[in-house]
Amino acid sequence: MDRMKILVVDDEARMRKLVKDFLTKSGYEVIEAEDGSHALDLFYDQKDIALIILDVMMPKVDGWEVCREIRQYSKVPIIMLTAKSDERDELQGFGLGVDEYISKPFSPKILVARVEAILRRAGQLDRENILEAGGIVIDKAAHNVTIDGKPVELSYKEFELLTYFLENKGIALSREKILNNVWNYDYFGDARTIDTHVKKLRSKMGKKGDLIRTIWGMGYKFETENESL
Amino acid sequence: MDRMKILVVDDEARMRKLVKDFLTKSGYEVIEAEDGSHALDLFYDQKDIALIILDVMMPKVDGWEVCREIRQYSKVPIIMLTAKSDERDELQGFGLGVDEYISKPFSPKILVARVEAILRRAGQLDRENILEAGGIVIDKAAHNVTIDGKPVELSYKEFELLTYFLENKGIALSREKILNNVWNYDYFGDARTIDTHVKKLRSKMGKKGDLIRTIWGMGYKFETENESL
DNA sequence: CGTTATTTTCACAAATTCAACATAATTTTG
DNA sequence: CAAAATTATGTTGAATTTGTGAAAATAACG
C-alpha cells in the first residue's frame, strides 16, 4: 500500500512540526493545517486522507467544531489532542465520533502507537465491505471492482449483479431469485434481461467470465473453485 | 433461536473478561478457558458451542495447536486473536481452517461485527442441503453432484431424479410416484421416459450406477448398502 | 433539448435436453 | 422351455433454453 496520508491540525506551528516529524519518520505522509477552516479545505481537496489529528484548543473554530463538520460527510478516524488529561469533555467527543484521545504532553511512542492502532482498526472495519473470490475483489463502499488487481468498469446493474453473485458464491441462483434480489421486486419485465447482463459481465471479466456458470434449465452460479476442469 | 454459546480461550484473565463482557452484552452466552487443554475439555463437554475465539499466544499449548486439534473433529468457526497485525502467520492459519483474524488491540464493535458475520455465514452453510449416500454427494444449493469426490455433470432432470432417489434411499419407488414428484404433475407423457433417464444416470454414475436398482414390475430403488452382493 | 450511457426488449442462431420410438435384453409365468 | 411381460439401450427430431448482436426504450447529463 501507499504511504498513508495524515492531516495534522493545530494552531501552534511548533506542535505541528513535532507531530509531523514523528509520523514522517514512521512512514506516513503528513499535511498540516493551522486552523479549522484550512483543515476542512484541505480535507475536501485531498480525497485520500486516512486519519486526522486535531487539537481541541484552537482560536476561532475549535477542535469540536471541526470534528462535527467533518463527521457530517466522512467517517475518517479522528484523534483529538487535549491539553490536560482531566479535560474531560471526552464524553462530548465520543458523541461526536472521536476515535481516540491523546493528552499533552505525550510521548512520540504513544502517538505513533495510537495512530497505528486506529488505522489497523479502520482497515479491519473496511474489510467487511469487501468481497473477494477467484481474484475478483468488490469494494462495496467504494463501489468498484478489480480483477487480479486491475480495475474494471461496470455499470450500476452489472455491479449489483456481480455483487449478488459474490455474496452467494457457490450457490445456484434461479432467474427468479436473481430478479427478486438484484432488481426491485416490483420489476415485471423480461427475465431474459439477466442473460444480457450476464453476457456483458462475462465479456468485461475476460477469462474470469467463466466463473459465472450457466446451470441449464435453472439459472446461474458463481464458481468458487474450478470444480470440473 | 437460543442464545449462542461462544468459547473464549486466552491466558490473560483481563482479556477474557473484556471479550466476555462485550459478547454478553450483545446477547451471547460466553464460557471461558484459560489454556488450550482446558479449552478442548470444555469443547467436548459442551456439545453446542457455536464459535471459538482463540488467542494465538498462550503458554504451553498455543492457539495454532488448539486449532489443529479441534479441526480434527469439528468445523466449528474459529476466530484467532493475534497480537500484531503484521504477525502474518495467517497463511498457516488459513491452512488450519481459521475463519477469521482480529488483531489486538481491537474495538468492541469490530469483535461483535466479526462474530455476527461469521455466525451468519455459518448459518447459511447449515442451510445448505447436502444429501449423501454410497459416496454420492448432492449439494442442492450449489446444484452439483460428486461421486467419490469427483464432480459429475448432470442435466436438470437427471439432477432432480437423482436427488429424489437420494431423498428416498432404500425405498421402492413406483414409476407413478417418480413421475408425480420429479416431473410436473401436469405431465401426461409416457412413463417409460423414466427408463431413459435412469439409463443416462446409471451410465454417468459408472460403477455406482448399480445403486439404482430395478424392481421388476414395480419401479426403482436407490440402495443404501450393498444389500446383496 | 440534444447527447450519451445504460437498461430492456427482441429476433435469430446455437446448444442442450428430453420424450418417443424401435429394438434388444431380461425376467416372469405357465 | 417358450411365450408374455417388462426393462435396457441407442437413436432421433422436436422443443426448450441459452448466447448473441442489434434495436428500442429509458435514464442521466450538461
As a whole number, mean pLDDT of residues A94-118 equals 80
Contact between residue B29 and residue B48 where contact means Cβ atoms under 8 Å apart: no
Contact between residue B155 and residue A216 where contact means Cβ atoms under 8 Å apart: yes
Mutate to test the interface with A, among B86, B110, B114 (most CBs of A within 10 A): B110
What is the spatial distance between Cα A42 and Cα A70, in angstroms, rounded to a whole number?
11
Contact between residue A97 and residue A79 where contact means Cβ atoms under 8 Å apart: no
Any B CB within 8 A of A171 CB: yes
Which H or E element spans position B145?
A: strand B144-147
- Which residue ranges have CB below 7 A from strand C? A 155-158, 183, 187, 189-190, 192-193, 196-197, 216-217; B 155-158, 183, 187, 189-190, 192-193, 196-197, 216-217
**pLDDT per position as a tens digit, B135-179:** 999 999 999 999 999 999 999 999 999 999 999 999 999 999 999
If DSSP codes are grouped into helix, strand and coil, which group holds residue A13?
Answer: helix
Closest-CA residue of B relative to A216 is B156
Any A CB within 8 A of B171 CB: no
Q: What are the φ and ψ backbone dihedral angles of A35, each rounded to 5 degrees?
A: -155, 175
| CATH architecture of the domain covering A5-127 | 3-Layer(aba) Sandwich (3.40)
Cell numbers for B206? 459408472
Q: What is the pTM of this model?
A: 0.72
B136-139/B130-133 β-pairing:
antiparallel
CA R_g for chain A: 24
Other Cβ atoms within 10 Å of A143 Cβ, number: 13
As a whole number, mean pLDDT of residues A164-187 equals 92
Q: List Cβ neighbours of A140 (8 Å cut-off, separation of 6 or more).
A: A129, A130, A131, A163
Closest alpha carbon to A201 in A228, A175, A164: A164
As a whole number, mean pLDDT of residues A119-140 equals 82
> Which residue reads 421416459 in cell numbers?
B193
**pLDDT per position as a tens digit, B83-131:** 765 444 555 555 677 888 887 777 777 788 889 888 888 777 666 678 9
- Do A130-222 and A5-127 fall under one CATH topology? no
Domain ranges (residues) in chain B:
5-127, 130-222
The residue whose CA lies nearest the C1' of nucleotide C16 is A216
If DSSP codes are grouped into helix, strand and coil, which group holds residue B76?
Answer: coil
The beta-carbon neighbor of B155 closest among A121, A172, A216 is: A216
Is pLDDT of A130 > 50? Answer: yes
Q: What are the φ and ψ backbone dihedral angles of A22, each rounded to 5 degrees?
A: -65, -45
The beta-carbon neighbor of A117 closest among B105, B117, B156 is: B105
> Which residue reads 455406482 in cell numbers?
B208
Closest-CA residue of B relative to A117 is B105
Contact A120 B113 (CB under 8 A): no
- Beta-bridge partner residues of A82: A103
What is the spatial distance between Cα B216 and Cα B200, in angstroms, rounded to a whole number?
19
Any B CB within 8 A of A113 CB: no
Closest-CA residue of A relative to B102 is A124
pLDDT, residue B1, reads: 59
What is the spatial distance between Cα A47 and Cα A40, in angstroms, rounded to a whole number?
12
pLDDT, residue A8, reads: 96
How many residues appear in chain A?
229
What is the spatial distance between Cα A96 and Cα A63, in angstroms, rounded to a whole number?
11
If DSSP codes are grouped into helix, strand and coil, which group holds residue B147?
Answer: strand
Is pLDDT of B223 > 80? Answer: yes
Side-chain-side CA neighbours of B207 within 13 Å: the count stands at 5
Give helix then strand counts, H and E, for chain B. Answer: 8, 12
Q: Which of A140-144, A194-198, B17-21, B63-67 has the highest mean pLDDT?
A: A194-198
Which H or E element spans position A123?
A: helix A108-127
Q: Which nucleotide is nearest to A209 (CA to C1')?
A: D19
Q: Output the CATH code of domain A130-222.
A: 1.10.10.10
Q: Which residue has the higher pLDDT, A211 or A80?
A: A211
Which H or E element spans position A15?
A: helix A13-25
> Edge to edge, what strands does the sheet with A136-139 contain?
A130-133, A136-139, A144-147, A150-152
Q: Which residues of A touch B130 (CB under 8 A)?
A: none
